[in-house]
Amino acid sequence: MTHFDDQQTQRSNLAYIRDSMRAPMLSRDHELVLAERWRDHRDQAALHELVQSFARLVIATATRFRHYGLPLGDLVQEGNVGLMQAALRFEPQRDVRFSTYATWWIRSAIQDYVLRNWSIVRTGTTAAQKSLFFNLRRLRAQIAGDNGAAGLTDDGRRQIAAALNVDEDEVVAMEQRLAGADQSLNVPIGENSEDDWQDFLADPGPTPEEVVINLRDAETRSRWLAEALTTLNTRERLIIRERQLRDHAATLDDLGRQLGISKERVRQIEARAIQKLRAAMLQRAEDPRAPCHAA
């Protein structure tokens, strides 16, 4: 966005706020008439007058969320969405003023917008965390008093956790989230530095040397296994191949029918073959140059 566009946006926002604050207040009876005309006849003019008259409520609510660093115009726009939702759902017969009903919808819409856009990291995924996000600053100021700049004590965190019905760990985590804004990993670490923050992130994956070593070890194990299989007789190799080296292992019953023996006998042969393979592999591990011998 250019500087000119930003100025244009600010002027448009100020003009909208002025027009909204000049809109006449509605009497209770006239408010009820407008709500009924919209509900019963879908009178667009009635809806427009009802919404326009309470736009000042949106502006008043949006200004209370300006300290989260989001544009006031966007907050007002989201609040207007909540105001429209309130108008669509309002029931005149409930004997509740529209402003009382709409306040919840406006605040909820703005809070959801703040949670979605305050940080690229998702914040406040549960009702309790959402309450913690929007009330932590206020409660911290009340508890800390003149020492607010020094942060909360453990006792203060316990008080907040009890007041909002959350764990103390969640209070600590939210404190940390609110204390620091998002920062790009592509920015230099210093004014005269050519290194970015991402250059100092540790790679959890294996190093090139470890990759090469793992590949060589895998090849060695495969070669040793192939040699160890030569120590087995034909029936043992068949059972090991079908039971241990297939993606879908054959059952003992299937192999028993194929070989003409019981499934218990197949299990015994398999166990003996595995012991022979283990012995052959251990022999190669102790002396890699020694050939495998049939047991």
What is the per-residue DSSP string for 204-223?
A: -SPPHHHHHHHHHHHHHHHH
Report the length, in residues, of the chain: 295
Token readout for 186 is: 């592509």
Q: What per-residue confidence (pLDDT) applies to 289?
A: 64
Number of Cβ atoms within 10 Å of the Cβ of 188: 12
Tens digit of each residue's pLDDT, the chain (295 residues): 444 447 788 888 888 888 888 888 889 899 999 999 999 999 999 999 999 999 999 999 999 888 888 888 999 999 999 999 999 999 988 888 999 999 999 999 998 898 888 765 555 556 777 777 777 777 877 776 645 445 678 888 888 888 888 888 877 777 766 666 556 666 677 777 777 767 777 777 888 888 888 888 888 888 888 888 888 999 999 999 999 888 888 999 999 999 999 999 999 999 999 999 998 888 888 876 655 555 4
Distance CA 54, CA 23 (A): 8
Distance CA 132, CA 263 (A): 62
Q: What per-residue confidence (pLDDT) applies to 123?
A: 58
Number of Cβ atoms within 10 Å of the Cβ of 9: 15
Per DSSP, the residues of 149-172 read GG---HHHHHHHHHHHT--HHHHH
Beta-bridge mates of residue 123 = none
56, 53, 47: which is closest to 26 by C-alpha?
Answer: 53
148, 146, 147, 144: which is closest to 159 by C-alpha?
Answer: 144
Contact 183, 193 (CB under 8 A): no
Contact 54, 83 (CB under 8 A): yes
Q: What per-residue confidence (pLDDT) applies to 1?
A: 43
Encode 13-52: b = buried (16+ Cβ within 10 Å), e = exposed.
Answer: beebbeebeeeeebeeeebbebbebbbeeeeeebbebbbe
Number of Cβ atoms within 10 Å of the Cβ of 81: 16
pTM: 0.52
Q: What per-residue confidence (pLDDT) applies to 101?
A: 93
Q: What per-residue confidence (pLDDT) applies to 34?
A: 93
Distance CA 58, CA 84 (A): 11
Phi and psi (nearest 5°) for 70?
-100, 150
Distance CA 121, CA 117 (A): 9
Token pair 């003019």 is found at 45
48, 55, 69: which is closest to 13 by C-alpha?
Answer: 55
Phi and psi (nearest 5°) for 122?
-65, 130
Q: What per-residue confidence (pLDDT) applies to 2?
A: 42
Q: What per-residue confidence (pLDDT) applies to 158?
A: 85
| Dihedral class, residue 124 (left if φ above 0, else alpha if ψ from -120 to 50, else beta) | left
Q: What per-residue confidence (pLDDT) applies to 181?
A: 58
Domains in the chain, start-ordered, CATH in brackets? 8-118 (1.20.120.1810), 122-180 (no CATH), 208-286 (1.10.10.10)
